[in-house]
Amino acid sequence: EALGAGERLVVARETPYHGIQVVDFKGMNLRALKFDRFVESSILLEPPYPTGSEYTNYFHLAYLVKPKLRHVAFIGAGGGIGPRTFHETDPETLVDVVDVDPVVLDIARDHFYMPVNDRVVPHARDGRMWLQAREADFDCLVLDAFTIGGRIPFHLATREAFELMRDRLAPGGVFVMNTNSALEGESAE
C-alpha cells in the first residue's frame, strides 16, 4: 500500500496470512501495525509506548472481575500491546501469546516492545489447536484474532471453539473478546 505524507515505512513483510506493514506517522509520533490496508494496532513512540489503539485498554476490564491474574492467554497477538500491558500491570502473571503467524509475533517483539521472557511466552500456532493441546486453567482468556477485513477466523467463532475456551478457564476465570461491530444502523442488528 502506498504511504501518505509524513508516513515512514519501518518494515513490510508478506506472509501466508497478511501483507504486514509497520508505519510511523511522524507528525503524530505514532507507530501503526497494518494487516493489508487495515490498522491492527498502534502505539505512541515514546516510553512507556502507550497504546494508540483505545480498544486494547478494554482488555483490562478482566481485572475488575478477577483482580489477581496468575495465567493469561491471548489468542491473536497483533502488536502485542495487550500482553505487554498485562505484564507491566503484574510482572508475575504468566502471559501466553498465541498467533498463527510467527512474523506477527516477531514484529510485536521487535517493533512494539512486547517482551519475550519466562513470563511472556509467544507461541506460533493456531489458537484453537493450541488450546486443545493445553490442560492449563487460565484466569483470563483474551480472543483478539482477526483475518483480512477485520473478521474473526471462523473456526474461532464456533460453538465448539467457545466451549473449548470455557473449558480452559479456571473457576471464576474471565473471557474477553474483541469484536468489530456497528453500534447503530442495519449492521448493528
DSSP code of residue 62 = H
Where would I find the beta strands (DSSP E) of the chain?
A: 7-14, 19-25, 30-35, 38-44, 71-75, 94-99, 120-124, 138-143, 169-177
Q: Cα–Cα distance between 27 and 90 in angstroms, integer?
A: 33
DSSP code of residue 147 = B
Q: Is 99 a catalytic residue?
A: no
Judge contact between 134 and 112, C-beta under 8 A: no
Distances (CA, A) of 123 to 38, 50, 116, 180: 24, 24, 11, 25
| Catalytic-role residue among 36, 106, 144, 167 | 144
Taking residue 37's Cβ as centre, other Cβ atoms within 10 Å add up to 11
Q: Catalytic amino acids?
A: 144
